[in-house]
Amino acid sequence: MKNIQDLLDRFEAFKLKGLQLNEQDLHDRLSLWDDINDAVIELESKFLEGDATYDRDYGLRLIELKEIKDSEGKKRYTDATAKAMCDNEFFDRYLDLIVIKETYKRLMKKAELIEPYTNVVKLHIRKDFSI
């Protein structure tokens, strides 16, 4: 996957140029749009996979802690304590998922901003080749 910061920097460079683009800029803008969409797809896949793994592992650990409570016959872990322990153990993984999700959303917004321009560029390129 392309470096996300590189994609964002390229996006900002095009934003500064506005509509004053030469032919190479048009092709570069299409390339940027494709790269951003590829990154979005990859991040979405990574997030969904990580989210499913997180939910599964969190649930298994919660069950494990509750079984310890039940097997010892003591109230060593109440349900709330078991949940708090799981929250603490899985906190870093949860933060990693949030970062992926927010990066995904940010790139989606950039792709949505570029899309109308790419449609114009595609029409322009088709027109040039049809002459």
Among 12, 113, 1, which Cα is nearest to 47's?
1
Does position 131 have pLDDT exceeding 50, yes or no?
A: no
Which domain does 62 fall in, by range? 4-8+26-126
CA distance 82 to 65: 6
14 lies in some domain:
no
Does position 61 have pLDDT exceeding 70, yes or no?
A: yes
Tally of domains in the chain: 1
49 lies in some domain:
yes
20 lies in some domain:
no
16 lies in some domain:
no
Residue 57 banded pLDDT, cuts 50, 70, 90: very high
Contacting residues for 3 by C-beta, under 8 A, at least 6 apart: none
Does position 112 have pLDDT exceeding 70, yes or no?
A: yes
96 lies in some domain:
yes
pTM of the model: 0.68
CA distance 44 to 101: 8
